[in-house]
Amino acid sequence: MLKKIILLGATGSIGNSALRLLRKNKNLYHLIGVSAHNNAKLLSEIVNEFNVQNVVLSDCKNVNEYYGIHQLKVGSLELKNLAKLDCDIVISGITGLSGLYPAYEAISSGNDLAIANKEPLVAAGQIFMNKVKQTGAKILPVDSEHSAIFQCIQYNDNLDFITLTASGGPFLNYDIDSLDNVTPEMALNHPVWDMGDKISIDSATMFNKALEIIEASVLFDLTYEKIDVVIHPQSIIHGLVHYKDGSILANLGYPDMITPLSVALSWPDRVDLNLKKIKLTDIGNLTFIEPDYKKFPALNLGWEVLKNNKLSPIVLNAANEIAVKLFLENKIKFTSIFKLVSEIIDIYQPSDALTIDEVIYIDNIARLKSIDYFNRKL
Ligand code: NDP
Ligand code: MG
């Protein structure tokens, strides 16, 4: 039986890796639904190549550019409807908190969710985990570090802690004083991964790793002191699980999102992707470096938010999304991203959100406060 797949964010970087995976495995997977936000042309190509029946463009701006062979549905309500169609697994490669409603819709309807889109897990993690307990849907991590932990973790009283690796991003070896003047182009130029703009900037500031610390605490039910981060520039080891008997299980692989996507789609089975084989002697050295918390203060905020329950992960995420956008538009300096986010999580400390609508409410206020801070102070 072919597994029926719905791919949200088909036109992005994760979408592209997922399509590469599906192209290689036409005998296993059948793509029955796809979404994009604006890129109607690429969406049409995908629909025509894979003969996808259910197609959504979540923004209406470019509908006239659509030339796919199947009917196009438009708007955010249609995106939610797409995520709850009967299928074996929904992949979410949407960027930012915009993926919240469709991902939540997927698990609410009982669909399994292979999730790359970390922001909804950061902002609404507990609500997601409660929902899957209710519906029986599974959340399968696609973020490479979390896929690594997922593959190595054995739930056990004697699990000691986990390590998430970080490439260090494009500014790993930059002088701290030069970071004030780096441009969006420089920040988008990631040394290892080819990703969308938002996550590329997050990798440069290391907010990405802060989000991933929170993501890991949600997915694996771990407290802050059980999550460690180490810089590993080669990005060959993606994550490690340390046990108290001295054993450490690590997951290795070339940095290519096709692998974590394949793990999520086939779990607990494995598929032959016929990839270039890893030759350890070609790689030679694997290096590990302590993060520089002065240069990348954003990293600490991941632990801070878990430690101090007055600080809200929703606010952290929202302020960061606004700050990244402002930086990409050349309106603020690279170093002001951290300044803005740390200010907003200090001044806006809402009580816990218990529903998705409350998450959105807090998110909206945090965005308004971020814009206000930018207008007044930056
Ligand atoms: P991209 O920016 O490359 O792609 C984003 C996708 O989401 C596109 O299909 C885009 O459509 C769609 N989209 C954009 N805005 C909206 C919106 N408001 N509503 C609905 N859909 C929207 O991002 P990435 O693929 O790099 O990242 C996706 C997610 O996966 C992020 O959360 C990221 O953190 C995570 N991730 C990514 C990795 C990677 O290697 N890229 C690795 C690990 C995690 P359109 O093209 O039409 O604008
Ligand atoms: Mg990652």
Tens digit of each residue's pLDDT (9 = 90 or more) over 179-237: 999 999 999 998 888 899 999 999 999 999 999 999 999 999 999 999 999 999 999 99
- How many Å apart are CA 202 and CA 119, to the nearest integer? 12
**357: confidence class by pLDDT, cuts 50, 70, 90:** very high
- How many Å apart are CA 106 and CA 3, to the nearest integer? 16
Ligand nearest to the CA of 99: 1
Angle (deg, nearest 10), helices 207-220 and 298-307: 30
Q: Per the domain annotation, does 93 fall within a domain?
A: yes
The helices-and-strands tally (H runs, E runs) of the chain is 15, 11
Last residue of a domain, one of 115, 141, 167: 141
Q: Per the domain annotation, does 264 fall within a domain?
A: no
Centroid of ligand 2 to alpha carbon of 212 (angstroms)? 7
SS3 233: coil
Centroid of ligand 1 to alpha carbon of 97 (angstroms)? 10
Q: What is the mean pLDDT of residues 276-289?
A: 95
Q: What is the mean pLDDT of residues 334-346?
A: 98
**86: confidence class by pLDDT, cuts 50, 70, 90:** very high
- Say if residue 287 is in the same domain as residue 316: yes
Ligand nearest to the CA of 118: 1
CATH number at residue 321: 1.10.1740.10
Q: Which residue has the tokens 């940095």?
A: 255
- Say if residue 157 is in the same domain as residue 241: yes
Chain mean pLDDT for the chain: 97
pLDDT at 22 over 90: yes
pLDDT at 156 over 90: no
- Say if residue 159 is in the same domain as residue 289: yes
- How many Å apart are CA 68 and CA 16, to the nearest integer? 18
Give the closest residue to 264 by CA, choosing from 139, 176, 373, 140: 140
Amino acid type, 80:
K
- pLDDT, residue 193, reads 81
Last residue of a domain, one of 141, 159, 181: 141
- Say if residue 131 is in the same domain as residue 154: no
Q: Per the domain annotation, does 261 fall within a domain?
A: no
Token code pair at residue 89: 């697994």
If phi over 0 gives left and psi between -120 and 50 gives alpha, with beta otherwise, what is residue 274?
A: left
DSSP 8-state assignment for residue 180: G
Tens digit of each residue's pLDDT (9 = 90 or more) over 88-113: 999 999 999 999 999 999 999 999 99
Last residue of a domain, one of 124, 141, 158: 141
Token code pair at residue 352: 């816990």
Q: What is the mean pLDDT of residues 275-302?
A: 97
Look at the chain and report how many structural domains it folds into.
2
Q: Per the domain annotation, does 370 fall within a domain?
A: yes
Give the residue whose CA is nearest to atom 2 of ligand 1.
196
- How many Å apart are CA 37 and CA 359, to the nearest integer? 22
pLDDT at 248 over 90: yes
- Say if residue 247 is in the same domain as residue 290: yes
Centroid of ligand 2 to alpha carbon of 72 (angstroms)? 32
- How many Å apart are CA 129 and CA 359, to the nearest integer? 15
Amino acid type, 62:
N
Q: Per the domain annotation, does 183 fall within a domain?
A: yes
SS3 168: coil
Q: Per the domain annotation, does 271 fall within a domain?
A: no
Token code pair at residue 30: 């059948």
With a pLDDT cut of 90, the percent of the chain lying above it is 97
- How many Å apart are CA 292 and CA 275, to the nearest integer? 34
Q: Which residue has the tokens 């969406």?
A: 43
- pLDDT, residue 287, reads 97
Centroid of ligand 1 to alpha carbon of 202 (angstroms)? 13
- Say if residue 107 is in the same domain as residue 158: no
CATH number at residue 119: 3.40.50.720
- pLDDT, residue 329, reads 98
The model's pTM: 0.98
Q: What is the mean pLDDT of residues 298-312?
A: 98
Centroid of ligand 1 to alpha carbon of 95 (angstroms)? 3
Q: Per the domain annotation, does 272 fall within a domain?
A: no
Distance of CA 358 to the CA centre of its chain: 21
The helix or strand, by DSSP H or E, that contains position 231, with its residue range, turns out to be strand 227-231
- Say if residue 135 is in the same domain as residue 152: no
Q: What is the mean pLDDT of residues 162-171?
A: 97
SS3 319: helix
- pLDDT, residue 171, reads 97
Ligand nearest to the CA of 17: 1
Q: Which residues contact 232 (CB under 8 A, 6 or more apart)?
A: 165, 166, 167, 286, 287, 288, 289
Q: What is the mean pLDDT of residues 267-279?
A: 96
Q: How many CA atoms lie within 13 A of 296 on its CB side?
A: 27
Q: What is the mean pLDDT of residues 22-46?
A: 98
**296: confidence class by pLDDT, cuts 50, 70, 90:** very high
- Say if residue 9 is in the same domain as residue 151: no
- Say if residue 135 is in the same domain as residue 154: no
DSSP 87-145: -SEEEE---GGGGHHHHHHHHHTT-EEEE--HHHHHHHHHHHHHHHHHH---EEE-SHH
- How many Å apart are CA 303 and CA 294, to the nearest integer? 15
DSSP 8-state assignment for residue 289: B
- How many Å apart are CA 158 and CA 161, to the nearest integer? 9
Give the residue whose CA is nearest to atom 27 of ligand 1.
95
With a pLDDT cut of 70, the percent of the chain lying above it is 100
- pLDDT, residue 192, reads 84
Amino acid type, 355:
T
- Say if residue 91 is in the same domain as residue 184: no
Q: Per the domain annotation, does 118 fall within a domain?
A: yes
| Structural domain for 372, as ranges | 146-254+279-377
- Say if residue 186 is in the same domain as residue 212: yes
- Say if residue 212 is in the same domain as residue 180: yes
Strand partners for 186: none
- pLDDT, residue 21, reads 98
Ligand 1 lining (C-beta closer than 6 Å) = 9-15, 36-39, 58, 93-95, 98, 116-119, 143, 193, 195-197, 199, 257
Tell me the backbone φ, ψ of residue 5, rounded to 5 degrees. Answer: -115, 140
pLDDT at 144 over 90: yes
SS3 235: coil
